[in-house]
Homo-oligomer: A and B are copies of this chain.
Amino acid sequence: MDKNDLLPIGDLARRTGLAVSAIRFYEDKGLIAPYRTMGNQRRFLRSDIRRLSFILIAQKLGLGLAEIEAQLAALPQGRTPTLADWQKLSRSMRSQIDKKIALLSLTRRKLDECIGCGCLSLTRCQLYNRDDRAGTGGTGPRFVLD
Chain A residues in the interface with B (C-beta under 8 A) = 11, 14-18, 49-50, 53, 56-57, 60-61, 83, 86-87, 90-91, 93-94, 97-98, 100-101, 104-105, 107-108, 111-112, 114-115, 118, 120, 122, 127-129, 131-132, 134-135, 139-145
Q: A101, B98: Cβ atoms under 8 Å?
A: no
Q: B101, A142: Cβ atoms under 8 Å?
A: no
Complex Cα gap A56–B104 (Å) = 14
Q: Contact check: which of B105, B140, B145 meets A60 at CB < 8 Å?
A: B145
Nearest-neighbour CB distance to chain B for A118, whole angstroms, equals 6
Q: B104, A100: Cβ atoms under 8 Å?
A: yes
Q: Contact check: which of B14, B56, B111, B144 meets A139 at CB < 8 Å?
A: B14
Interface of A is mostly: helix
Complex Cα gap A90–B98 (Å) = 24
Q: B129, A15: Cβ atoms under 8 Å?
A: yes
Q: B118, A83: Cβ atoms under 8 Å?
A: yes
Q: B94, A129: Cβ atoms under 8 Å?
A: no
Complex Cα gap A134–B14 (Å) = 8
